[in-house]
Structure 1
């Protein structure tokens, strides 16, 4: 079996570490919070992120970056977008052999507008970069960790790495399809969080299924427009990394982005909501990135623009909804 290091001790990193351990791999998790590391090692739980889920007892955890790097040649990156450059930069200074990088992070970097794979590529020296891929799709950690049926996509420009990801994670409850469109799968995973916040806003305002279905459908249209402009295959957005991930994130209370939007729709302030969250809602930062990226690329994204004004210009949600519904007539 394979030695694997998981960087990040949040909900999804923990759930995937559990999948890998259940598949017989030797898993070491790395994180900064000593209390979380001690809990994983002693109790085989991570209550802050996965409540009472029991993790495989073979999983080990450490705060020692040297140990994490030496443990394996395969790295699973389950970190927030804003932590990628810092942690991978520190990793890069300690590398002496090629490593494979498989990330599960769903975001776009502010200012540079880069996808996570591009951030990793920027940070890791070419001689140590053995390939970059992503595992993405409709996959709430809370369901994966208790072995509920889940299906995801493994994407990379490297065919051998796509196969490795599929082989590592495939189980009788986690089905993995390969996909060669890294750009599309990354963008689908990141941009759906914007629409999920908007979906939560609509639900929080008390609107029903009609409004939510319209939002998801038109949200997919603008995700696809930007994706194609950036080089993605439009068919990718009809798959697990696109519509699949969009549906699950826009309709579930497991989604931290949906939950954040729901509270906004109820009238709570963004700063107060963020203070009460113990996990990162990537959609807030992605909205900021994608709003400016779409302007730069000349791509129309009305839902993203409306949400940006709510989040960053403090515009009332009712006003933005009226603007969306009152846009000029057009063909679908």
Structure 2
């Protein structure tokens, strides 16, 4: 488990509870030592005891020696660096599963493509779904998708595929995985949902309620479908756990850092003052750039993501930006109808703070 934050620790707990010897790699030696000594990761998952068979180390070689599978739980912004560091220590053909979500800034590459470039010869997949770390660590009933690209031999012997073997390793207690061969669809869902969650947080913080959130979730799902399909994924994947499921969870609670950031901004806080002034990494903040850059490059319309990008990175006023979003031309919901009508109130004003 490369990454010692809350989600990496929770997934490591799932594997260890299922009887698999599991190592967490922590960037900081003091954190690794405290995890081993206290049998908990008090910094990220306080008051939850770790199961037997789970250890931590800050030595990357020690973490990866004899590993049969590797889960990458580092921030998306440091993924390429992490892969390069891990490469000398990985045995040939060891499957690598992404547990972080996003699109690489600058290149527009899906994270699986980044791993493919840096770790050639290793099957690459992703684990994604509606999964808050603390609930997973407490073994609450939780479902997620395990996706790998399926090779010819995987279709001949699906039970021996990396996706199936990873799913079987994770299966147990409250954790229930599902298997997918649509890695692109799963990755797009994970990247875009973070940005939509910030939008939900912004309008919730500004005083709007359930109608607004439901609208953003539904139209955000459509943006996810469009990007997934444009990149070669399947629209139906986005309606599953890794798309609509993850989006619904992330947009439903300020337990999500993405939703929380948006909520604080919607209340009028400056970005520097959010999270009490602490430097908290929010994946959707980074993804807002990479997702919109990619959407523009491939010609996909993603107005909610564009709005979040404008507020976070272009200095646009939150209220004016969402007014513009809501007064866009009227469209047909089935896109096959191909309809666009000028909005009758192009200068409408939403009742912020009501």
Q: Same fold (TM over 0.5)?
A: yes
Structure 1 residue aligned with 2:140, among 116, 137, 148?
Answer: 148
State the secondary structure of the residue aligned to 2:330. Answer: coil
RMSD: 1.4
**Alignment partner, residue 195 of structure 1:** 196
Residue by residue over 1:200-250, the C-alpha shift from the partner in whole angstroms, topping out at 9 and shown as x without a partner, is: 111100101011111111111111111111111010011111110110000
Moved more, 89-98 or 32-41: 89-98
- Asked if the contact 1:134–1:156 (Cα under 8 Å) also holds between the matched residues in 2, the reply is yes
Mapping for residues 208-227 of structure 1, pairs under 5 Å: 208-227=209-228
User: Using the alignment, how far apart are the partners of 2:248 and 2:303 within structure 1?
Assistant: 19
- Asked if the contact 2:146–2:179 (Cα under 8 Å) also holds between the matched residues in 1, the reply is yes
User: Using the alignment, how far apart are the partners of 1:268 and 1:219 within structure 2?
Assistant: 24
- TM-score normalised per structure 2: 0.89
**Alignment partner, residue 20 of structure 2:** 25
- Asked if the contact 1:265–1:317 (Cα under 8 Å) also holds between the matched residues in 2, the reply is yes
**Alignment partner, residue 105 of structure 1:** 100
User: Using the alignment, how far apart are the partners of 2:255 and 2:270 within structure 1?
Assistant: 20
Q: Which runs of 5+ in 2 are unaligned?
A: 155-160, 334-354
Report the alpha carbon displacement of residue 71 of structure 1 after superposing the two structures with TM. 3.7
Moved more, 95-104 or 305-314: 95-104
State the secondary structure of the residue aligned to 2:213. Answer: helix
Structure of higher CA gyration radius: 2
**Alignment partner, residue 290 of structure 2:** 289
- Asked if the contact 2:190–2:246 (Cα under 8 Å) also holds between the matched residues in 1, the reply is yes
Structure 1 residue aligned with 2:114, among 99, 115, 119?
Answer: 119
User: Using the alignment, how far apart are the partners of 2:319 and 2:52 within structure 1?
Assistant: 49
Structure 1 residue aligned with 2:54, among 49, 55, 59?
Answer: 59
- Asked if the contact 2:67–2:90 (Cα under 8 Å) also holds between the matched residues in 1, the reply is no
State the secondary structure of the residue aligned to 1:93. Answer: helix
Whether 1:241 and 2:242 are equivalent positions in the alignment is yes
**Alignment partner, residue 91 of structure 1:** 86
Report the alpha carbon displacement of residue 190 of structure 1 after superposing the two structures with TM. 1.1
Q: Which runs of 5+ in 1 are unaligned?
A: 1-5
**Alignment partner, residue 328 of structure 2:** 327
Residue by residue over 1:15-35, the C-alpha shift from the partner in whole angstroms, topping out at 9 and shown as x without a partner, is: 000011100110111111122
User: Using the alignment, how far apart are the partners of 1:60 and 1:27 within structure 2?
Assistant: 7
Mapping for residues 247-266 of structure 1, pairs under 5 Å: 247-266=248-267
State the secondary structure of the residue aligned to 2:201. Answer: helix
Moved more, 80-89 or 92-101: 92-101
Report the alpha carbon displacement of residue 96 of structure 1 after superposing the two structures with TM. 4.7
Whether 1:139 and 2:140 are equivalent positions in the alignment is no
- C-alpha spacing 1:284/1:274, structure 2 compared with 1 (3 Å): farther
State the secondary structure of the residue aligned to 1:49. Answer: coil
State the secondary structure of the residue aligned to 1:307. Answer: helix
**Alignment partner, residue 164 of structure 2:** 163
Residue by residue over 1:254-304, the C-alpha shift from the partner in whole angstroms, topping out at 9 and shown as x without a partner, is: 211001110110111223327845652110010100111111111111111
Report the alpha carbon displacement of residue 161 of structure 1 after superposing the two structures with TM. 0.6
- C-alpha spacing 1:248/1:277, structure 2 compared with 1 (3 Å): farther
User: Using the alignment, how far apart are the partners of 2:278 and 2:13 within structure 1?
Assistant: 24
Q: Number of matched residues? A: 324
**Alignment partner, residue 75 of structure 2:** 80
User: Using the alignment, how far apart are the partners of 1:307 and 1:246 within structure 2?
Assistant: 15
Report the alpha carbon displacement of residue 142 of structure 1 after superposing the two structures with TM. 1.0
**Alignment partner, residue 268 of structure 2:** 267
- TM-score normalised per structure 1: 0.94
**Alignment partner, residue 316 of structure 1:** 317
Report the alpha carbon displacement of residue 197 of structure 1 after superposing the two structures with TM. 0.6
Residue by residue over 1:54-97, the C-alpha shift from the partner in whole angstroms, topping out at 9 and shown as x without a partner, is: 21143111111111121412111111111111111011133453
State the secondary structure of the residue aligned to 2:95. Answer: strand
State the secondary structure of the residue aligned to 1:90. Answer: helix
**Alignment partner, residue 3 of structure 1:** none
